[in-house]
Copies of this chain bind each other. A is one copy, B any other.
């Protein structure tokens, strides 16, 4: 089998190492030596370490946003025909399906989620700005649809609940390996990612439908 080209080998290796140790803790020498690529190749092909980090995200987020937009188009068209509102469950289902779909093509969902978690928690100010400016639109569109699906919730309440849920998902899936080991050791059952998504569904729906705070 032919070796993938240098750019691909760098991206493949970088996303795994970034997901394992974080950005600052992963040196370009770690990446290039494991990828069997010359050190200077990163700066040659990507310009800088910052740009490499952004490129790693783009390789996930570009196809994700495209598919998600398409899925929302279809969902809206279907409900526009019969004049019904899109129910919350369908919106969450669509998002979950798209999230599961995209990384399946290449790497594991775990890496994708770890990266998302790092984007929120690590310093890397440039990353948050980059993601917001490049991919903020699809999130805005989604939240607007959620707004129409949950008209009983005050706007601020819905905002916070969406972030509670985002925290659950990112935290759980990005720490999946460690948690899975504990769960397997203590309860003897090995969960897959789709098991977890199945477990998340009723919890997420209940969270969104919780009574308003007194």
Residues of chain A whose beta carbon lies under 8 Å from any beta carbon of chain B = 20-22, 24-25, 117-118, 120-123, 128, 155-157, 159-161, 163-172, 174-175, 178-179, 182-183, 186-187, 189, 191, 196, 198-203, 205-207, 209-214
Contact = CB atoms under 8 A, between A and B. Distances in A.
B175 A160 contact: no
A156 to B, nearest CB: 4
Contact of A202 (B174, B182, B213): B213
Contact of A166 (B21, B171, B214): B171
Residue from the set A179, A189, A202 with the largest chain B CB neighbour count within 10 Å: A202
Contacts of A189: 156
How many copies altogether? 2
Nearest to A122: B22
A161 B183 CA distance: 12
A213 B187 contact: no
A79 to B, nearest CB: 24
Given A164-B203, A167-B170, A171-B171, 4 more contacts: A155-B187, A163-B179, A164-B171, A202-B210
Contacts of A157: 199
